Amino acid sequence: MITPNKDFRLNPSRALYVTGELNDDIVARLTPKILALQSQNRDPICVYINSPGGSPASTEALLNLLRLSDQDSTEPCRIITAVTVQAASAAADLLASGDYAIAFPKSKILHHGVRQLSGRESTFESTARLNEALRISNSIYAMRLAQRSEDRFTFRFYSARDEFAELRKRKNEPALGDYECFVEVVKEKLSPDAGKIFDKALKRAERYKALFASAASSSDLMSKAETTQQVQALIIKAIVDFEVSSANSASPTDFRFGGMRQLVDDFYILNEYLTGNTDQRLERWCTTFGRLALTREQEAEIDGITDETERSKKLVEINKPILQPMLAFFIAMCHALQEGENELSATDAYWLGLVDEVVGEELWNLRLLYEFEEDEEEKAESDGKENTETPVPESGTEVPAGT
Amino acid sequence: MSAQTAQRPTESTERANPSSRQEKELRDAVERVYRRYGTNLTAFYRDAHREAQKEQEKKVR
């Protein structure tokens, strides 16, 4: 039985329509409507999007308005975003910022790097400043996109895990790791264009994984640092150490030629990764979805732990090494989306974790997880089937965490 | 035209953090499915989609 849950359902009676360029005018036009919807009740607000993009500042202003609490500090209204035709540039960011993001089947989603329209005369100083500003903005927007979409990407990973056993069998590689399986499974589902973005992300992810691992060795020192500058200095040192270490020997860096630029890029990524409560986020995913990655033995072990805190700890212990490379990959992908023009179909965006659901497509989504309830008759019927289908992997089919 | 500007955004770790209520609801939903289907989400989604189709057919009638 499907019991509709309003937190995941489009509702045109509580909707806004973001059409055309995203600018201050659209924010001004929508503000009274947003405030009126928020004052009616705290039900979700749907934001239908058909926009070529526009100003990131206006997009942030719109999001801040949508996330307003009230004078009683009530929880903000949940935001359901939906792209109907196109969501490009800043509009693609708006789409990904929804608590639940939906794409209509023929819609297009375009991500690209930050742009500057300038009619002024250029000097060495002005272009250097612009270059620096664009690079930093790209990095920050990529991290922001990652943070706004990482929950759905994590869910995508746990959902796709179901196909890993079949893939290992098909490739005759029983020891293929979770990360490698995920990459294969998703790549098979992407269009050729999205596959190219995916490949770029994979290349970046290899570097990030090594960099994060290298920086982890400085985490003790960082936790003892007393000022932000000290932490930042340790991050820079960790990057320099990584650059001259054997981990990076395949592509040695010359700091005179491009190395400093790489250092700055890495600094922003590491700073966000190490200081942006990554551990808490990882632990939250482990305790939320972690059960979906257990073998029979692990399940029995966890069920045998009576203390809830200890049980959560065990879930984190099992899942964290699996999720860490996934997070590095996702951050790499969000950076790859900031390079060049990256047009995605609705299904591509779904597989890359940028939307939760594609209307009319039979794909895994969180909505069904909330809405589906078996009635008694079906329960009995599927009980019969369950005996012939294996719901939980047997021991030995799983790969050690973190491989 | 899409025209993001190079205006530097305020550095932020802000995100749409789920509230503790939403987080608990999600954990409960995962737990409910896990109890019924184990890690076999394919079976879960097969049943859920089948059910969704049935609901749709009912509406059309």
Q: Provide the token pair at A220.
A: 């003790």
- Nearest alpha-carbon partner for A276 in A239, A318, A222: A222
pTM, 2 dp:
0.84
Q: Which residues in A lie closer than 8 A to residue B44 (C-beta atoms)?
A: 369, 372
Taking the C-alpha atoms of residue A103 and residue A109, their distance in angstroms, rounded to an integer, is: 9
pLDDT digits (tens, 9 = 90+) for A354-377: 999 999 998 989 999 899 876 666
Taking the C-alpha atoms of residue B2 and residue A88, their distance in angstroms, rounded to an integer, is: 7
Q: Which of residues 289-328 of A touch B (CB under 8 A)?
A: 289, 291-294
Contact at CB, A133 and B5, closer than 8 angstroms:
no
pLDDT, position A349:
96
Contact at CB, A75 and B5, closer than 8 angstroms:
no
Of A114, A277, A369, the CB nearest to B4: A114
The verdict on A378 touching B (C-beta cutoff 8 Å) is yes
Of B16, B38, B43, the CB nearest to A97: B16
pLDDT digits (tens, 9 = 90+) for A143-168: 888 888 888 999 999 989 889 999 99
**Furthest C-alpha separation in chain A:** 75
Per-residue pLDDT of chain A (403 residues; tens, 9 = 90+): 888 999 999 999 999 999 999 999 999 999 999 999 999 999 999 999 999 999 989 999 999 999 998 888 788 999 999 999 999 999 999 999 999 999 999 999 999 877 766 667 778 887 888 777 777 778 788 888 888 888 899 999 998 988 999 999 999 999 999 999 999 999 999 999 999 999 999 998 988 888 888 887 777 777 788 888 988 898 899 888 888 876 556 666 788 887 888 888 888 888 877 776 778 888 889 999 998 888 888 888 998 999 989 999 999 999 999 998 998 899 999 999 988 899 999 999 999 999 999 999 989 899 998 998 766 666 666 566 554 444 455 444 444 443 3
A142-152 burial, b at 16+ Cβ within 10 Å, e below that, comes to bbbbbbbbbbb
The verdict on A53 touching B (C-beta cutoff 8 Å) is yes
Q: Provide the token pair at A228.
A: 């932000």
B57 burial level (CB within 10 Å; 0-12, 13-18, 19+): exposed
Q: Which residues in B lie closer than 8 A to residue A137 (C-beta atoms)?
A: 6-9
